[in-house]
Structure 1
Amino acid sequence: MLYEIQVVNHGIPIEVIRNMIDVSARFFNLPYGERSKYMSSDMAAPVRYGTSLNQNKDAVFCWKDFLKLVCHPLSDVVSHWPSSPVDFRESVATYAKETKYLFLRIMEAILESLGLWGATKDDRTPENDEILKQLDGGSQLMVVNCFPPCPEPDLTLGMPPHSDYGFLTLLLQDDVEGLQIQYKGEWITVEPMQNSFVVNIGDHLEIFSNGRYKSVLHRVIVNPAKLRLSVALLHSLPFDYMVRPSPKLIDDANPRRYKDTDFATFLHYISTCEPKKKNFLESRKFT
């Protein structure tokens, strides 16, 4: 199955995309004292500012700052988000709503490709619709990344090789190169396309599809002269739901390949281990 695609003609207004990049840049331009108010060691906090991936466990820090925002349900979390810049909450909430709709449309196509959802209403059953209902009410985690210029880019990375935990990640990039995916053992740079979204398959979709779809191993390199911004939205089932292979994708020829997992299991794993490549997903495989 395809690992990574870029989506254009997605219907999300250009001004929504531009506002998201603009307000992100203005947040990272705030004085450090303003940004640091949102620093937290609680990896489940609704808002968390920091650097690297896991400051407690990373052997080598990443060359980046980040802001993580829980985006669902919006009515419960928006008040926790930064209030500066003054239009931050409104811009981010609008962006989160628009991208959630896009995520669900892409998931419809993926479920259809797996034979789990009909292309027409006559082909659909309440059972087939259930996974989409769960995803519609599921988790949505935003990670806004700022990769400053690095004087020695060959000595570090913006993010080390890793896969994402959810079903799909919708990634918005600015016009500065940095994202790379691994394909057949080689690192391929994903060229930024204006107003497009990179769609990365996450570990949860690999588990749910019983290995039919594979999560993508990716990393971020840094630039010696230019700052780079990206906005990643990780979508999955609700945080308290178990993710498991669909029973309809398991048979004698395709035995179950993955254990059940949930967000709490993921958080415990990355809070005790240094994130490396696809090691969490490997821990969920039956040997």
Structure 2
Amino acid sequence: MQLLNHGIPYEITSNVVDVSKRFFELPFSEREKYMSADMGSPVRYGTSYNQTNDDVFCWRDFLKLVCHPLPDALPHWPSSPLDFRKLAVSYAKEVKFLFLMLVDAILESLGLMNKKNKTEENDEDEDEDKNKEEDEDEEILKEFEDGSQLMVLNCYPPCPQPDLTLGMPPHSDYGFLTLLLQDEVKGLQIQHKENWVTVKPIPGSFVVNVGDHLEIFSNGTFKSVLHRVLVNQMNYRISVASLHCLPFKSIVQPCPKLVSETNPRHYMDTNFASFIEYLKSRDSTKENFLHSRKLTS
């Protein structure tokens, strides 16, 4: 879906697109300082999913920034352009708050949040049960508040033969939700009923994609979104993806409250280490990560 009227000032979203473009316009000698084979690095510049194993690279440059915990990660972020850290931090904080608002709505839609109703009169036993459930709700939200946030700045340069390559191949996002900000240049496509549909950019809006974690956590109620990126001959395209998930050390599993005899568990447990191992061995012939987590009936 595309999210409008989200409350983040247009100045903040336009500034992060602008500073991202200026970063990718830096000389390669400046950008290559942030190249790393370590997928857990707090900052990583590169071109493809796995630059060691991939036979064909994506037609893009990217800069990945770990955003949580911010005080530890920030010193590793690029210091050029001079306003890069300031603008990127402002954006990261706003998007994290927006993510938590969306999580609250998602948990409520799954029946996992118990909203307080002050007009109801309950006996002591009901109040005790309700307080216990509210405490559990707070624990769930706290885990998301402490969760990881990865910001990915993408640059898709003009391509002389766009029909022969992709900016990014079909994939789903590891994590709970991805909030994607894109400039005015088309390129993002979502798979819908076996067809690829181009997402028309709306200035200042966010494309909200369900990630693998949310499909696993909801035991299949929400479906992870398969998407890809096309390139063009004429224009640079800039996008900023903010990927949110539970803390890196957390075990992601179907929520026990959503598993029953009529809706058995559909996915095995997973964690960030499993995903990293998958990325290291990934090639174009392998199933995607989510499929590797599905249980067979």
Q: Scaled by the length of structure 2, what TM-score is found?
A: 0.93
Check the 8 A contact 1:162/1:276 in 2, yes or no. no
Check the 8 A contact 1:207/1:258 in 2, yes or no. yes
Moved more, 127-136 or 235-244: 127-136
Give the secondary structure class of the aligned counterpart of 1:125. Answer: helix
Check the 8 A contact 2:50/2:282 in 1, yes or no. no
Please tell me whether Structure 1 or Structure 2 has the larger radius of gyration of its CA atoms: 2
Is 2:49 aligned against 1:58? no
Is 2:220 aligned against 1:211? yes
Q: CA deviation at 1:272?
A: 1.0
**Structure 2 counterpart of 1:252:** 261
Moved more, 24-33 or 53-62: 53-62
- For residues 220-278 of structure 1, the C-alpha deviation after alignment (integer angstroms, 9 at most, x for no partner) is 00011000000001000000111000000000000011111111110111111226686
Give the secondary structure class of the aligned counterpart of 2:170. Answer: strand
**Structure 2 counterpart of 1:184:** 193
Check the 8 A contact 1:162/1:277 in 2, yes or no. no
Q: Distance in 2 between matches of 1:37 and 1:121?
A: 54
Is 2:36 aligned against 1:40? yes
**Structure 1 counterpart of 2:240:** 231
- For residues 16-55 of structure 1, the C-alpha deviation after alignment (integer angstroms, 9 at most, x for no partner) is 1111001101100000000000000000000000112211
Q: CA deviation at 1:80?
A: 0.3
**Structure 2 counterpart of 1:137:** 146
Check the 8 A contact 2:175/2:211 in 1, yes or no. yes
Q: Distance in 2 between matches of 1:230 and 1:277?
A: 27
Where do 5+ consecutive residues of structure 2 fail to align?
A: 119-129
Select the residue among 42, 63, 69 that pairs with 2:65. Answer: 69
Q: Distance in 2 between matches of 1:61 and 1:121?
A: 54
Give the secondary structure class of the aligned counterpart of 2:53. Answer: coil
Give the secondary structure class of the aligned counterpart of 1:234. Answer: strand
Matched to 2:36, the amino acid is S
**Structure 2 counterpart of 1:158:** 167
Give the secondary structure class of the aligned counterpart of 2:277. Answer: helix
Give the secondary structure class of the aligned counterpart of 2:248. Answer: coil
**Structure 1 counterpart of 2:76:** 80
Check the 8 A contact 1:217/1:277 in 2, yes or no. no
Matched to 1:270, the amino acid is L
- For residues 191-237 of structure 1, the C-alpha deviation after alignment (integer angstroms, 9 at most, x for no partner) is 00010000000000000000000100000000110000000010000
Q: Distance in 2 between matches of 1:190 and 1:165?
A: 20
Q: CA deviation at 1:151?
A: 0.8
Q: CA deviation at 1:60?
A: 1.4
Question: Aligned pair count?
Answer: 283
Select the residue among 167, 173, 182 that pairs with 1:173. Answer: 182
Check the 8 A contact 1:163/1:278 in 2, yes or no. no
Check the 8 A contact 1:217/1:278 in 2, yes or no. no
**Structure 2 counterpart of 1:13:** 9
Q: CA RMSD in A?
A: 1.3
**Structure 2 counterpart of 1:110:** 106
Distance 1:251 1:195, change over 3 A: same
Distance 1:120 1:150, change over 3 A: farther
**Structure 2 counterpart of 1:24:** 20
Matched to 1:169, the amino acid is T
Give the secondary structure class of the aligned counterpart of 1:170. Answer: strand
Q: Distance in 1 between matches of 2:291 and 2:95?
A: 29
Matched to 2:5, the amino acid is N
Check the 8 A contact 1:162/1:275 in 2, yes or no. no
Where do 5+ consecutive residues of structure 1 fail to align?
A: none
Moved more, 267-276 or 26-35: 267-276
Q: CA deviation at 1:131?
A: 1.6
- For residues 1-26 of structure 1, the C-alpha deviation after alignment (integer angstroms, 9 at most, x for no partner) is xxxx1101000011111110011011
